[in-house]
Structure 1
Amino acid sequence: MTRHDSTLSPLAELASNVAQPFERARAMPKSVYTSEEFLAAEIENVFKQDWFCVTRADALPNPGDYTTLELAGQPIMVIRDREGQLRAQSNVCLHRMSTLLEGSGNTRAIVCPYHAWTYNLDGRLRGAPAMTLNEAFCKDGQALPQVRCEEWLGWVMITLNPDAPPVSETLAGVADLVGDYEMENYQQTFFETHRWDTNWKVLAENFMESYHLPVCHAGTIGGLSKLEEMVCPPGEEAFNYHWILKEPDFVLGNAHPTNTRLSGERRRTTFLLAIYPSLLITLTPGYFWYLSLHPHGVGQVEIRFGGGMAPEFVNDPEAQSHFNALKALLDDVNVEDRGCTEKVYNGLCSDMATPGHLSHLERPNYDFAQYLNARVNGG
């Protein structure tokens, strides 16, 4: 059977696709992006199994600070408790199963908006009005189900999988690669959520390759991107990466004069880290930004978008102007990326579309396909 054989299931099509060596590789089959069957497989085998990034730890600095999300259909809150510990727990009331908190904010207690059942920040049930006549009810020992939560290099990571290895173990290679950047000390200066009309993997792949920068980002950073200087090594089991060199006159993309951690070309090297399944980090010596992606059906993606500065720029007298310049740049870049990725999704829905051969600059996309196949097909 050929790769165009419509009798193949989406999972089988992907398995056939990744069997080719990189030198002969093509983009993933269309069904990987458009099939409900494939979406169900990745929810079950990817988003229910691997670590997912919620936000930065410094975005929740105080007791009662929280943010909410859905992971693989499960409403979850991440909250800092009275002891200063970050914890993730079910965002569903133990009574009539209403969701509890919405968005992000700060609260002294978790109060259900339906019947005012009230929980401590650690999830223990504190109060349940008008329940004294139910002889079977006792609030003692009742608590919201807990979800695994770990802080790693400043990132808040959660997983629904009780058997997943610790993040620090799974991603030890990332710490080895960029440990001298001290990413854990970068400070988040903005955070937003968005929903775009494209498949989550289209946006993930768009981030993973810089081949598109000169064209898609011609109005912003494209002129600063030199294809001949991009290096795309083979990826690792849990992540892939590549790097580009920023021009010396791009102040924010270079190490601050007071930065003594980095030397030589490292002072202008930008790493693009794709941590599976969907944490995408641009890490420069001066700033960082990231996307954390989750599917919303096959044709939309939920985006957790944030970024900030290296500590030297945070403490710079011109800090606010640096923040403003960075955010304005990233907003413009996002407009360009949204246009490109929504066009790709529209195109791959066409009956006449065919996955093309990959460039050597799309090595990360090939590695991402290998990862997905290993998860959904056990390969």
Structure 2
Amino acid sequence: MARDLTETDPIAALAANAALPFVQARAMPPSVYTSQAFLDAELSEIFRKEWYCIGRAGALAQPGDYVTAELAGQPLVVVRGQDGALRAMSNVCLHRMSTLLEGRGSARAIVCPYHAWTYNLDGTLRGAPAMTLNEGFQRGEYCLPQIRCEEWLGWVFVTLDPEAAPVADRLKDVEAMVAGYDMLNYTETFFEEHVWDTNWKVLAENFMESYHLPVCHAGTIGGLSKLEEMVCPPGREAFNWHTILKDDSLRIAMAHPKNTRLEGDERRTTFLLALYPSLLITLTPGYFWYLSLHPKGPGQVHIRFGGGMSDDYKDDPDAQANFAALKTLLDAVNVEDRGCTEKVYRGLCAQLSAPGHLSHLERPNYDFAQYLNARVSQARAK
């Protein structure tokens, strides 16, 4: 099937794609991934309005701990205050507008690297050198703009939209679904940031379906993946998910004996949660890992990649050795995923590319397209 004329209008192309029932569904049109106009609609209607995850609260445990991010063009920082509260604020100095902090770390104060204007951890201005001769300058009038920040089950979310519904309200069904895993009972042991040469939705969709595991991951986890045991139910408004059953060949993927919350097959069930727009969590009874995605243009994605293990395992004598082996495996899986998703983006840019029909194992991808269509169509309505 060659590209039709709606490819000149990616929002219209997605609307036509999303109008089909799942039993007739196709992959999203190429222009949805490659068009700058479509990305502009995503930034305005999704990333400037939805909740974006910056990582785990455990990385911000002590006063002064901070993490930086960029959300829809806005540099921001989330910091633990002296009062114990988490605050998100603009990461741009109010003097000559340099960005302030970088990466993750700990600081007693926020000091601008350009002229050393210094802010308290709550964003108020503490000091500004050589400003006494400016009659209009009043230190008390300066405070870094605040951004909404919420914690949910150990995850830290920020949004630029003051009217966005609380995270806990949007994700209450997820919380009920995985209550037996107790996500507060997991400790992050690694965090990395990466940039891959693919569209952010290609990587999101790659996570949302396990149809590719036996082939893309033939060198790592593919042999452990049984297509017939994958369950892909219809998604919800704010998320989709699917599940996989694992065996005890990877022991820390199983529920620990001290875990009495999970029973039967629950003790070996892995949830793959896609929390819109771009938080992707693999949650097993013993460990977790996640990706939080943000576009860097149509052809690149910024990835926040972290993970760790259930505290149920922390006192086992071989727990750390097992988790180190798991991290090595996850790194190898990432190499495979990067290769596959970058190939997909190169193919999407080809003149003769065209979307094929979806498998029943790609139900989450269909639901993701429905979500995207509902959001970006609002840009057309303005």
- Structure-to-structure mapping, 1:111-260, within 5 angstroms: 111-260=111-260
Question: Which runs of structure 1 show a deviation greater than 3 angstroms over 4 or more consecutive aligned residues?
Answer: none
Residues 7 and 29 of structure 2 are in contact (CA less than 8 Å); yes or no, is this contact kept in structure 1?
A: no
Aligned to 2:96: 96
2:82 is the alignment partner of 1:73: no
Give how far 1:317 is off.
Answer: 1.9
Aligned amino acid, residue 248 of structure 2: P
Instruction: Point out the more displaced range, 276-285 or 316-325.
Output: 316-325
**3-state DSSP of counterpart to 1:140:** helix
Determine if contact 2:10/2:35 at 8 Å carries over to the other structure.
Answer: yes
Q: Distance in 2 between matches of 1:324 and 1:52?
A: 28
What's the offset of the Cα at 1:279? 0.1
Provide the aligned C-alpha RMSD in A: 1.1
Q: Which residue of 2 aligns with 1:18?
A: 18
Query: For the residues of structure 1 that align with 2:6 and 2:353, how far apart are their CA atoms?
Result: 14
Describe the SS at the equivalent of 1:302: strand
Contact in 1 for aligned 2:3/2:354 (Cα 8 Å): no
Deviation at 1:250, TM superposition (A): 2.0
CA shift, 1:85, in A, is: 1.1
The alpha-carbon deviation at position 316 of structure 1 amounts to 1.8
Matched residue count: 378
Does the CA contact (< 8 Å) of 1:243 and 1:269 recur in 2?
yes
Is residue 55–residue 155 contact of structure 2 (8 Å, CA) maintained in 1? Answer: yes
Distance 1:274 1:184 in 2: 18
C-alpha deviation, 1:314, in angstroms? 2.1
Give the distance between the partners of 1:63 and 1:268, measured in 2 at CA.
37
Shift of 1:3: 6.5
Matches of 1:201 and 1:297, distance apart in 2: 12
Aligned residues with identical type, % of pairs: 70
Q: Say whether the 8 Å CA contact 1:35–1:298 is kept in structure 2.
A: yes
- The alpha-carbon deviation at position 6 of structure 1 amounts to 4.7
Asked if structure 2 preserves the Cα contact closer than 8 Å seen for 1:273 and 1:280, the reply is yes
* Corresponding letter in the other structure for 1:228: E
CA deviation after TM superposition for structure 1 residue 315, in Å: 2.6
- Aligned partners of 2:3, 2:353: CA distance in 1, in Å? 13
**Pair 377,3 (structure 1): closer, same or farther in 2 beyond 3 Å:** farther
* Alpha-carbon contact 2:196-2:300 (below 8 Å) kept: yes
CA distance in 1, matches of 2:259, 2:209: 28
1:24-71 Cα offsets, whole Å, 9 max, x none, are: 000000000000000000000000000000010001111111111100
Indicate if the aligned counterparts of 2:7 and 2:31 stay in contact, CA closer than 8 A.
no
| Amino acid in structure 1 at the alignment position of 2:201 | K
Q: Which moved more, 1:140-149 or 1:26-35?
A: 140-149
Contiguous gaps of at least 5 residues in structure 1: none
Equivalent residues of 1:14, 1:28 under 8 A apart: yes
The answer as to 2:362 corresponding to 1:376 is no
In the alignment, the residues of structure 2 paired with residue 315 and residue 195 of structure 1 have an alpha-carbon distance, to the nearest angstrom, of 35
CA displacement at 1:323 relative to structure 2 = 2.3
Counterpart residue number, 1:264: 264
CA–CA distance in 1 between the matches of 2:127 and 2:54?
A: 29
The 1:7/1:186 distance shift into structure 2, 3 A limit, reads closer
Match of residue 277 from structure 2: 277
| Equivalent residue runs for 1:30-45 within 5 Å | 30-45=30-45
Whether 1:107 and 2:107 are equivalent positions in the alignment is yes
Counterpart Cα distance in 2 of 1:175 and 1:159: 20
Q: TM-score, normalised by structure 2?
A: 0.97
Q: Which runs of 5+ in 2 are unaligned?
A: none
